[in-house]
Amino acid sequence: MRQNILRSFVAAGAFVLSACSTIPNDKPAPKVAGASPVTAPCPQGLPADTRCYSGQDSAGAFYWIAIPANWNRVLVMHAHGGPELGAPSMARATEDLQRWAVTVKAGYAWAGSTYRRGGYGVTMAAEDTERLRALFVQAFGAPRRTLLHGQSYGAGVAAKAAELYATVDGRKGPYDGLLLTSGVVGGGTQAYDYRLDLRVVYQYVCKNHPLPSEPAYPLWQGLPRESTLTSAELLQRIDACTGVRKSPMDRTAQQRANLATLLDTIRIPERSLVGNMNWATFLFRDVVQERLDGGNPFGNIGVKYSGSRDDAALNAGVQRYPADPAAVSKLAADSNPTGRVNVPTLGLHAIDDPTAFVELESVYRDVRERAGTADLLVQTFSRESEHSYLSDAEYPTLFAALLEWIDNGRKPTPEGIAARCKDIEARFGGGCHFDPTYVPRPLAARVPPRQRP
């Protein structure tokens, strides 16, 4: 897993979740105010003749805009992953532009916002993405097409934005197509269940988060608001219990047994254990304490854990928590997709994604089917084991397929996309790893079902 996933837990900021209510689809675009984008030297990795602009929008979000010399008049709005904990910074926007520089190399303009505040808030981030799009149009004119690309958590943001700013009463929405990659697209009320499972199984096995000497607290809180625990200190605890920082040969027999119980029960790879424990600690605190007024949106009543040496003892011994209906409802209003998307949508997900389980794609397809919009959804899958970034060649492949669908009405197929990538690979590199035959299992095959309010 890439190091930036761990860096996001160094500090945690606080803000009030003001966007946890549903927003009607005829909501006008967020107002654009403040200074126009300022010309800035492009970050490393972009074509030499690219024009770059940076700034801070009227709500306080930082952003980058990059326009290549050979601009094809298509704008790609990028919704970043995370969510980042701590105050937003230009450094995050810079990192995203460099990571997705292939978009600019392929001839597309690129614009990405940090969002106005750190921490969780899907609807808020969708509003901030739309605000930047409006700023781009104000400064540079309307592009021929606008594609909305969301990565990881940002895929949930992009899906929400596509719903909020869809066509209403014949008035065309601002986005022509939607690309969701490595997406956390099941909504907050389902996507994070396994992290509560990780916390309760970890505490049953390791008994050091919290330590016996520390005040007890319900694990769904992540941490008490006043806790000063750092990610480095949490890593020390995880390593003491599992030896995760050591080579397998240097772990004690007990550490090997503890690690096996965690990985086999939660069904995650070793390399994602520390990152997921960070999310289940610091992100949970942010969601619960700063967004939901202390309410619990995460429950594990009815879960049957399996994969340990003694499942009966495990199920009898783990702590159990019922989710609070009001907290679940509030989190759902902010983050859960409705499927009311009326633009062509492509998805790409690594089959062995260690952070956002590929089975979330089956949840999203079900959502789109219930909304009657599944005919506008094509999902593709790759034989990769990454989450933060997939192959360079795969992104322009998907953009091109999406544009052909929008412009010419030719709906792509997974087989056709895989073939198209082979033609593009020589230019962009990175390989093509599409598996057109893969179909994800239901989420319940990976994350045990539970009672829900």
pLDDT in tens, 11-22: 322 222 333 333
Percentage of the chain beyond pLDDT 90 is 86
pLDDT in tens, 173-208: 999 999 999 999 999 999 999 999 999 999 999 999
- Do the Cβ atoms of 449 and 306 come closer than 8 Å? no
CATH architecture of 27-187+336-445: 3-Layer(aba) Sandwich (3.40)
**Strands of the sheet with 377-382, listed across from one edge:** 38-39, 51-56, 62-67, 109-113, 74-79, 145-151, 177-181, 345-350, 377-382
Q: How confident is the model at residue 10 (pLDDT cuts 50, 70, 90)?
A: very low
The 8 Å CB, 24+ separation contacts for 229-237 are: 229/281, 230/10, 231/6, 231/9, 231/10, 231/278, 231/282, 234/209, 234/277, 234/278, 234/281, 235/274, 237/206, 237/208, 237/209, 237/211
pLDDT in tens, 59-87: 999 999 999 999 999 999 999 998 888 88
Residue 169: predicted pLDDT: 63
Which two structure tokens, joined as six digits, stand for 207?
Answer: 């008994």
pLDDT in tens, 267-311: 999 999 999 999 999 999 999 999 999 999 999 999 999 999 999
Q: What 3-state class would DSSP assign to 99?
A: helix
CA distances from 128 to 115, 176, 263 (A): 6, 18, 37
Which two structure tokens, joined as six digits, stand for 362?
Answer: 């089956």
Question: Which of 325, 217, 204 minimizes the C-alpha distance to 261?
Answer: 204
Q: Domain limits of the chain?
A: 27-187+336-445, 191-331
CA dihedral 94→100→102→106, nearest 10 degrees, is -90
**What CA–CA distance (Å, rounded) separates 205 from 219?**
14
Percentage of the chain beyond pLDDT 70 is 92
- Residue, of 73 and 30, whose pLDDT is higher: 73
